[in-house]
């Protein structure tokens, strides 16, 4: 074997690495263009108020039960964990503060975001992909209706608005869950618990929570729409689009969470 061959072979993992990286960059470019396209169209007539109302209903209102339950159990579990963990160094009393910080800064937005990815991203992707494979998207176009404006923009905009609100609700319910466990099982004084929570939280915590909600909601809806609109053919195409959209949304939400946490709280 010549020296050149062995060099090529030694470097080949780099080549293998290069292709997916380029592919990923191209995908980022396509998704960004797609998002800008949708938002640009959302700002210009014709508007479809009924589609916005329906999207708001599905993304926001109908997600309330799952968001509420998720936050409630998480807040309760958090209180139990901090109490038993804190007991190891006599810090049981920090339960209200840590529950508040944990829910508002981190768990509220992340869990709501992931639940939205499970619930909303999947349903958007499956719906739009089915419309695509049954030529309904083509039919929209021939009926002089732009699918980006009629299908994509309402879903993305509703998620941008509704998910921060869901996060706010999740934060409050999560804290309530912690409060219920702490005052019911752990002998905390109700008034002191609430005071400690309110005194401890800063505006920055709340703003970061809502900003994360906005970002995660946007990503979730965007992934659903993008994978749906680019679905392959047939039932298999719909299945792939749905799976891909949820994976992408979940990973992007966790990555964005890391970046936003850094942006808000690193000093």
Q: State the SS3 of 237-260.
A: HHHHHHHHHHHHHHHHHHHHHHHH
Q: Does 139 bind another protein (CB under 8 A)?
A: yes
**Choices 13-21, 35-43, 134-142, 180-188; region in contact with another protein by CB under 8 A:** 134-142
Please state, as a whole number, how many other Cβ atoms lie within 10 Å of the Cβ of residue 239.
15
CB nearer to another protein: give 51 or 106: 51
Q: Does 142 bind another protein (CB under 8 A)?
A: yes
Among residues 48, 179, 188, 227, the one that binds another protein under rule CB under 8 A: 48
Q: Under 8 Å CB-to-CB from 231, ≥6 apart: which residues? A: 125, 128, 129, 132, 133, 237, 238, 240, 241
Q: Which is nearer to another protein, 134 or 192 (CB)?
A: 134
The residue from 143, 187, 258, 267 that contacts another protein (CB under 8 A) is: 143
Asked whether position 53 contacts another protein by CB under 8 A, the answer is: no
Based on the shown chain and the rule CB under 8 A, indicate whether residue 199 belongs to the binding site for another protein. Answer: no
Least distance from another protein to the Cβ atom of residue 230, Å: 15
Select from 17, 28, 85, 135 the one that contacts another protein (CB under 8 A). Answer: 135
Residue nearer to another protein on the CB measure, 92 or 240? 240
Our CB check for another protein shows the closer of 25 and 139 to be 139
Pick from 256, 230, 233: nearest CA to 124: 230
* Spatial distance between the Cα atoms of 88 and 262, rounded to a whole number of angstroms: 29
CB of 162 to another protein, least distance (A): 19
Q: Measured from the CB atom, is 115 or 151 closer to another protein?
A: 151
Taking contact as CB under 8 A, which single stretch among the options 9-17, 109-117, 139-147, 164-172 is the one that binds another protein?
139-147
DSSP secondary structure, 75-120, as one string: HHHHHHHHHHHHGGGT-GGGHHHHHHHIIIIIIHHHHHHHHHIIII
Size of the site for another protein (CB under 8 A): 14
Check: CB of residue 92 under 8 Å from CB of residue 196: no
From the list 27-35, 132-140, 189-197, 244-252, the region that binds another protein by CB under 8 A is 132-140
Q: What is the spatial distance between Cα 74 and Cα 121, in angstroms, rounded to a whole number?
A: 22
Distance in angstroms (rounded) separating the CA atoms of residues 60 and 120: 9
Hey, what are 69's tokens?
């339950």
Residues that bind another protein (CB under 8 A): 46, 48, 131, 134-136, 138-145
């Amino acid at each position: 074997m010549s020296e050149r061959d062995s060099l090529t072979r030694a470097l080949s993992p780099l080549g293998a690495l290069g292709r997916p990286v380029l592919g990923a960059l191209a995908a980022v470019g396509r998704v960004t263009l797609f998002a800008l396209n949708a938002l640009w169209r959302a700002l210009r007539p014709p508007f479809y108020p009924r589609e916005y109302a329906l999207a708001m209903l599905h993304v926001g209102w109908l997600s309330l039960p799952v968001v509420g339950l998720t936050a409630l159990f998480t807040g309760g579990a958090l209180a139990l964990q901090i109490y038993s963990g804190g007991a190891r160094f006599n810090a049981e009393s920090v339960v209200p503060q840590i529950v508040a910080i944990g829910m508002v800064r981190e768990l509220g937005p992340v869990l709501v975001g992931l639940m939205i990815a499970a619930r909303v991203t999947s349903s958007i992707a499956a719906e739009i992909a089915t419309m695509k494979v049954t030529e309904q998207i083509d039919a929209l176009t021939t009926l002089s209706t732009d699918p980006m404006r009629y299908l994509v923009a309402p879903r993305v905009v509703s998620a941008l608005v509704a998910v921060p609100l869901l996060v706010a609700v999740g934060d409050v319910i999560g804290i309530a869950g912690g409060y219920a466990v702490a005052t019911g099982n752990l002998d905390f004084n109700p008034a002191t618990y609430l005071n400690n929570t309110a005194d401890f939280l800063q505006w920055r915590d709340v703003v970061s929570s809502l900003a994360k909600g906005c970002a995660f909601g946007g990503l979730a809806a965007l992934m659903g729409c993008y994978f749906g609109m680019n679905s392959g053919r047939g039932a298999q195409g719909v299945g792939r689009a749905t799976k891909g959209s949820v994976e992408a949304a979940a990973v992007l939400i966790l990555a964005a969470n890391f970046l936003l946490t850094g942006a808000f709280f690193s000093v």
